[in-house]
Each structure stands twice: as structure tokens, then as C-alpha cells.
Amino acid sequence: MSDDGLRKWVVPALMLAILLWAHQTRWQVKASKSTDYEVMKWVQDRWLGEVWLQSYGYQGVVDMPVTAIGSDTSVPRINKDVIASATMARKIASWAWDALFAADALWLLLAAKASRRTLPNKEAPPV
């Protein structure tokens, strides 16, 4: 394979590896707590810096940003506007990653196909 054919797909392959690494390291578990009725996990979205509370119990799964839980009174209040904006930011970040991944995968496939075309055509040896 020529150097020119190799160079066509090295950049998209490296970008793909970086995107996969970023996806794998997006979430970090900060703490967890188990009770008789539920399991709670506090996870940090490293891309956005937001900490989320994930609760798994009999009532189903609850997933909300910690900033949405007001602690200024004895009874916690949940701010639905904060949940909506944080959820939208989280979805936009995920959609952006999906779009970058798809575009890079397509770029890699096209580069690989183009590098196959640049290979010299070797004739079969005579029989």
C-alpha cells in the first residue's frame, strides 16, 4: 500500500478512536447508596460537568440533575425547568456525538474505499 493510500484513512481512524474514548469516559460514578427499596447513583457527566441522580426502585427509574433538587427547605422541591434544560443539554451533547461518530465512520469508509482504488493493479502470474 502506498503512503498516499495510508494517509487517507489515518486521520478519520484516529478521530474515531478519540470519539470512542470520549464516549467511554463520559460518565463517572461519584457515589452510590442502596436501601431496601431502591438503589441511587450519583454520576457526573464529564462533558457538561452536571451531576445526575439516578434512582432505580419499585417506582421505576428516576434520572434528574442534582441541581434540580432544592435543599433550602426541609422538604426537597424539584425544579422542573432545571430538569428540562439540563436534559436538553444532555440530549444535544449525545446527538452531537452521534452525528460526529456517523460522519467520521462515513469518512473512514470513503477513505478506505479510495485507498483501495489507488492500489496498483497486479496481474496474476502465468500458469
Give the start-to-end residue ranges of the domains of the chain.
3-117
Tens-of-pLDDT digits for all 127 residues of the chain? 456 656 778 889 999 999 999 999 999 999 999 998 899 999 999 999 999 989 998 888 888 888 766 655 555 567 888 889 999 999 999 999 999 999 999 999 998 888 776 555 556 566 6
pTM of the entire predicted model: 0.74
Q: For 96-124, give the DSSP string.
A: HHHHHHHHHHHHHHHHHHHHHHTS--PPP
